[in-house]
Amino acid sequence: MDLYKKTAHELSSLLQKREVSSEELTRSVLDRINKVEEKVKAFVTVTGEQALEQAREIDEKRARGEAMSPLAGIPMAMKDNICTKGVTTTCASKILYNFVPPYNATVTEKLLEAGTILLGKCNMDEFAMGSSNENSGFFPTRNPHDLSAVPGGSSGGAAAAVAADEAVFTLGSDTGGSIRQPAAFCGVVGLKPTYGYVPRYGLIAYASSLDQIGPLTKDITDCALVLNVIAGHDPKDSTSAPVEVPDFTRYLVDDVKGLKIGIPKEYMGEGIDPRIAAYLKQAAAKLEELGAVCEEVSLPHTEYALPAYYIIASAEASSNLARYDGVRYGLRVEAEDVISMFCKTRSQGFGEEVKRRIMLGTYALSSGYYDAYYLKALKVRTLIKRDFDQAFLKYDCLLTPTSPTTAFKFGEKVNDPLAMYLSDVCTIPINLAGVPGLSLPFGTVEGLPVGIQFIGKPFGEGTLLRVGYALEQNTDLTKPKAQMEGVI
């Protein structure tokens, strides 16, 4: 029985029926990591011993008949920008190579309370800046479907870990598409929740007003189960929404009758691989067949999202990353005075892409340029939000490609930052608007998975899970996994 291959909900029922123990399951996944990690390189830290110990504790609790959450005993991993008490949290950056947080992120706390088993921390683009995982300060992660292709970014490690069965599920973070684009590239389910739905406390900030933690899972049901644990108000996060969280599993119904789905034409034009566009139309046809109504809609300000995003995200990043100065923790490069120490530490500690964005953000915020760049970007952001508000007056959700292309090859875009930035063009507007977005695998092109994206109203995660579930139930295209055999 290859336990590691199974979904969380399958494993949950096995654990509840006591057909397997969490220790067995954890061992199975750790063995899988041992076997494939050399090729995939999804992890920066594996905490095998601690995981087994945790699993044994859960097994004991279960043996005592204690009440257990559905995810109790399930091995998972987290992107390395989510703080884990006592476990190194590096953001895949040299500047934080030795940082061990003395606290847990709220999501870490919630998952541990639910009894999930922490296997380790996943590789990422440094400080979540990047679309390919080539910007990791340590090493790149590879796409389990094709080792010469990137896994996407910046949650590339987290997506690859799920795709390669090195974790049953993982948590990533999404600032401009960092969960959904790697989910699409690796053929897994990825959800960026509504801004404020999942607490950010303990998520090492890239761009505070855009960052959101979300799950990467093997299917929609798992996505609902993880969301059930991590969503909800957090008094430690003033931007966390004080709203009630439903049981998301009640949206897992095979029914989309009467649902109105808009397909924004701006996401279907130039730059989108026609084979991906074809899959999207196929998905729409399937949903119509199931009783939904699909129509073309326009989000006229879409083309301004990318520049606005890079101004806002870089501006916030320039400030958020200023604390890495060598004074208190992380890397310190010795120098004769404090200013030189700051400079040398930051020069040697940060990678190219991070420096590029810090400089861009510093420039955009500086006096004399603020109005022309930052303020203007905020205005664009308002217009983009309004586009979505308008669309949601008529539609329950929107359907777009997750990424214009499938996973590209290593090195293909690394010397052309602008081309790299374009790979997030379909996901970025969603972060600017703060609405939720779900990437669902839907077919493959030349052996590489394709992702389609559903965009929801604020706190409309339920609808996204409902359409995703309906598609899962009615087509095999949502399971691109079989293609992976033989690669790793």
Partner 1 sequence: MSAQYEVVIGLEVHAELKTDTKIFCSCPTEFGGEENTHVCPVCLGLPGVLPVLNKKVLEYAVRAGLALNCEIASFSKFDRKNYFYPDLPKAYQISQYDLPICKKGYLEIEVNGRKKTIGITRVHMEEDAGKLVHGGATIATSRYSLVDYNRTGVPLIEIVSEPDMRSAEEARAYMEKLKAILEYTGVSDVRMEQGSLRCDANISLRPMGAKEFGTKTEIKNLNSFRALQKAIEYEIERQRDILEEGGKIIQETRSWDEGKGVTVSLRSKEEAHDYRYFPDPDLVPVVIDPQWVQEIRDSLPELPDAKRERLVQEMGLSEYDAGIITGSRALADFFDQVVAEYNEPKTVANWIMGEFLRLLNANNLEVAESKVKPRSLAALLKAQAEGTISGKMAKTVFEEMFETGKEPETIIKEKGMVQISDEGALAAVVEKVIAANPQSVEDYKAGKEKAIGFLVGQVMKETKGQANPGLVNKLLKDKLG
Is residue 383 within 8 A of residue 301, CB to CB? The reply is yes
In the bound state with partner 1, the residue whose beta carbon lies nearer, of 78 and 420, is 78
Shortest Cβ distance from residue 318 to partner 1 (Å)? 8
Q: Which residue has the tokens 């990137």?
A: 150
Would you say 275 or 344 has its CB closer to partner 1?
344
* Cis amide prior to 28 (ω within 30 degrees): no
Encoded amino acid at 173, one letter: S
Residue (of 167, 182, 188) closest to 484 by Cα position:
188
Active site residue 79: yes
Q: 132, 136, 173, 178: which one is catalytic?
A: 178
Smallest gap from residue 359 Cβ to partner 1 (A): 13
Please choose, from the candidates 186, 188, 162, 272, the residue with its C-alpha nearest in 3D space to the C-alpha of residue 448: 186
Give the bridge partners for 172, in sequence order: 214
Which of 93, 132, 154, 155 is the catalytic position?
154
How are strands ordered across the β-sheet holding 397-401? 43-46, 117-122, 75-79, 169-174, 212-217, 189-192, 437-445, 448-456, 397-401, 260-264, 293-297
Q: Which is nearer to partner 1, 195 or 454 (CB)?
A: 195
Token code pair at residue 200: 């950010």
Give me the least distance between CB of 48 and partner 1, in Å please. 24
Asked if residues 31 and 166 have their Cβ atoms less than 8 Å apart, the reply is no
Instruction: Give the shortest CB-255-to-partner 1 separation in angstroms.
Output: 37
Query: What residue has token string 């409902």?
Result: 466
Which chain residues interact with partner 1 by CB under 8 A? 81-83, 89, 91, 96, 99, 101-103, 105, 200-205, 207-209, 235-239, 315-316, 318-319, 322-323, 325, 327-329, 338-339, 342, 362, 365-367, 370, 374
Q: In the complex, what is the shortest distance from the CB of residue 91 to partner 1, in angstroms, rounded to a whole number?
A: 8
Nearer to partner 1, 76 or 241 (CB): 241
Straight-line distance from the first to the last Cα atom of the chain, in angstroms, rounded to the nearest whole number: 18
Give the span between the Cα atoms of 399 and 277, in whole angstroms: 11
Residue number with CB closer to partner 1 (125 or 316): 316
Catalytic residue list: 79, 154, 178
